[in-house]
Amino acid sequence: MSDQHLAELRNEIQLESAGSTNFEVEAFARVYAKRLEESDQAFDLQVEALQCRGPRGKRLELLGYAEDGADDSLTLLSGRYFGADETLTLTDAKDMLGRATGFIEHSVTGWLGDNLEISSREAEYAGYFREKFDKSNYSRIRVLLITDGVMSSRIKTIDSISIAGIKTTFEIWDQRRILEVAHPETRSEDIQIDFTEWMPNGLPCLVAAETDSSLPSYLAVLPAKVLSDIFDSHGSLLLESNVRTFLSARGSVNQGMQNTLKNEPDRFLAYNNGLTATAVDIEINDQGSGTYIRSIIGWQIVNGGQTTASIAHYLRSGKDRSVEGVSVQMKLVVVDPSQASEIVHSVAKFANSQNRISGADLFSTHDFHIRMEKLSRRLRAPAKEGRQYHSGWFYERARGQWENDRNACGTVAEQRKFELEYPKSQRITKTDWAKYAYCWGKKPHLVSKGAQSVFAEYAVAVDKLWEANDSQFGEGYFRSNIAKAIMYEELRAAVLKQEWYKSSPGFLANIVAYAISRFAAELDKNFSGYKFNFERAWQDQSMGATTLRELITLARAAQLHLTDSNRPQANVTQWAKQQACWEKFLNLDLRLHESIKTDLIGREEAISSEKEDRRQREMDSEFEAIELIMGVRMDVWSAVIQHGSVSPTEADLVRIYGVRKGATPSPKQAAVLVRLLNRMVDKGVISSSSL
């Protein structure tokens, strides 16, 4: 990676810490945690800096943790922050990893609970982890050592260990690795499976009819024990990111499968839909007795994640349990590495089309995300005070879009122009978008679960609203949500500067989410004739001083509420995720000052603005449909006509506006042709990429 990328990484850490050296380590952890989440290496990492002394004065440290419901794993975040290009030695690495594992080990034994100050955050987490281990909540442990330094070339491997009887593996993420994984062409950890470890010749398979030689496919019947062993080794990294997000957020265990495995294991193959999986490469062994898959590289399960997790959970639930004789059918599609991300998402989308984890819910190709992307490239925000140029808010519906678009600019001067037009600080990911929307949507307990969890909830909700009436998602909606982003980030920066926060730092994201949600709730309750003036916030690209003052007051109240010694759950982070926590905060006697009306508008004015936005959205949709029809290639129209299931009216329109280029359809005619094209995409006659 270039010096420019490294400089950007360090600048991102400085911005995250709001210029305060007191928060640099936590800012470093948050920046790395976000990048690990965006690259699907971890799920909802909770950054929580913990430091204490263990037996014989041993230093114990954690930077954070994550609990992945898809595979019941625990991820620990350990870190070494240098603030410069230092070398992480093997001695340093083992020391830092030992501090992290030591914290867990001494939490489980009860030593920390018995010897730490009972009101300390470290004691709180020690008790939390001890309880979780006592209940056997975890199946595997990953320890991620993050550093802004460079890993020594002497570090080759770090052997796995066992903590409380649970296999624990180690990974080091230095500056080079964290920068590399940020690029969209970089796959998540390429998982290599060698089936000869279980079967001498490999996994027996059938070669499917190669109607598309670019996507060779294979059919196989996979022993359930083999699948479970692989899942135990690699965990939810096996699962395609959207499937993983769904399972982690909603729970991985299907009770029906558990009952079948226990009572009718011989019928599991008959009852279960099996797996759809992809790989970037496979090794085939052709013998006289048949064809075998010896090994797979880059294996991703795109449908059947719940089947996989349920089998593994069943075996972990009792030492006497067995899946001997149980098998799972599998379709394996081999994709070109250069197109892996796009093809894997397409395969997953259609493989899950009959499930609730459909492409409409989670995929970046959903029309909602495409529209937000288009709006973000078209709309320019008014110049901030003192600046002489307008800028855009860059909606990143797929990982690495901002970086790709900037790099596509030929010269350094053009790249700088792009950065002025779309500052990196104004890049918004799908998960950020969901977080901002749900903070204002009065769901801080859901936001507190983490970016990926809240996105899984938000995506399903938006899909329903989109199906009901997509015209509500127009320019006004986009500008309002940008205003919510501005509100969140300005409040976050302001809280960092408050003396009450500096004296007792922690739980920043929870505090901000609860404050904004209570602000929105107060407006609904006590200012029913008004609505917040998001349009002014968009025009000013800033919150009003009155709003910020009120939000800071609510943030202080949120901090006191979350950390109240009388809270029913000891762990603050877990308490913040509970609806009961939000309901209790909602019932506190807190009032907004009457002066807040200066930042509000009348409800009638707001409704009128929404109606105008929907009318504009409907007009935009008509123009977009006409533009789409005018751009469809001749060979696509030919494929549509040749398919046969086209009505006489549709055929006439295709001949007039498809074959005879130059003619412009009316909005109604364009709508008919768009529906026809979508029908052909659903039938597989044409591809969505051809539109």
pLDDT digits (tens, 9 = 90+) for 618-633: 666 666 777 778 888 8
User: Rounded to whole angstroms, how far apart are CA atoms 410 and 423?
Assistant: 18
Domain with CATH 3.40.1350 in the chain: 3-180
Q: Which residue has the higher pLDDT, 519 or 370?
A: 519
Across 522-647, the runs of DSSP E, i.e. the strands, are: 530-532, 600-602
Cα angle value 307/362/217 (rounded, 5°)? 55
Is the pLDDT at 195 greater than 70? The verdict is yes
Q: pLDDT tens for residues 541-562?
A: 998 899 999 999 999 999 999 9
**pLDDT number for residue 356:** 46
pLDDT at 93 > cutoff 60: yes
Average pLDDT on 584-611 reads: 86
pLDDT tens digits along 384-406: 766 657 889 999 987 778 888 88
What is the C-alpha separation between 371 and 618, in angstroms, rounded? Answer: 13
CB-based burial label for 613 (10 Å; 0-12, 13-18, 19+): buried
Dihedral in degrees, nearest 10, Cα atoms 164, 165, 171, 172? 30
Q: Which residue has the tokens 């997790």?
A: 309
| Segment 417-430, tens digit of pLDDT | 999 899 989 999 99
Beta strand pairing call for 600-602 and 530-532: antiparallel
Give the span between the Cα atoms of 191 and 344, in whole angstroms: 15
Please tell me the distance from the alpha carbon of residue 168 to that of residue 165, in angstroms, as a whole number.
9
Query: Bridge partners of 328?
Result: 222
pTM: 0.78
pLDDT the model gives residue 358: 42
Record the tokens describing residue 166, joined without a space. Answer: 């649970």
The full DSSP string for 532-563 is: E-HHHHHHHTS--HHHHHHHHHHHHHHHHHHT
The answer on pLDDT for 340 being more than 70 is: no
* Tens of pLDDT, residues 43-63: 889 999 999 999 999 999 999
136 torsion bin: left (phi>0), alpha (psi -120 to 50), beta (else): left
Fold of the domain built from segment(s) 3-180: Trna Endonuclease; Chain: A, domain 1 (3.40.1350)
- 8 Å CB contact between 521 and 363: no
**Residues 340 and 281 sit within 8 Å (Cβ to Cβ):** no
Q: Please determine, for residue 369, whether its predicted confidence score (pLDDT) is greater than 70.
A: yes
CA distance 227 to 312: 8
- Render the burial of 649-679: b for 16+ CB within 10 Å, e for the rest: ebeebbeebbeeeeeebeeebbbbbbebbeb
Q: What share of the chain is helix, strand, coil (3-state, %, to 5)?
A: 55, 15, 30
For the cut 60, the answer to whether the pLDDT of residue 75 exceeds it is yes
pLDDT of residue 626: 77
pLDDT at 690: 67
Higher pLDDT: 71 or 162? It is 162
Q: For 110-148, how does the pLDDT look when each residue is reduced to its tens digit (9 = 90+)?
A: 999 999 999 899 999 999 999 999 888 788 999 999 999
Tell me what pLDDT residue 648 has: 83
Confidence of residue 250 (pLDDT cuts 50, 70, 90): low
pLDDT > 80? residue 438: yes
pLDDT given for residue 188 in this prediction:
47
Written as six digits, the tokens of 76 are 């620990």
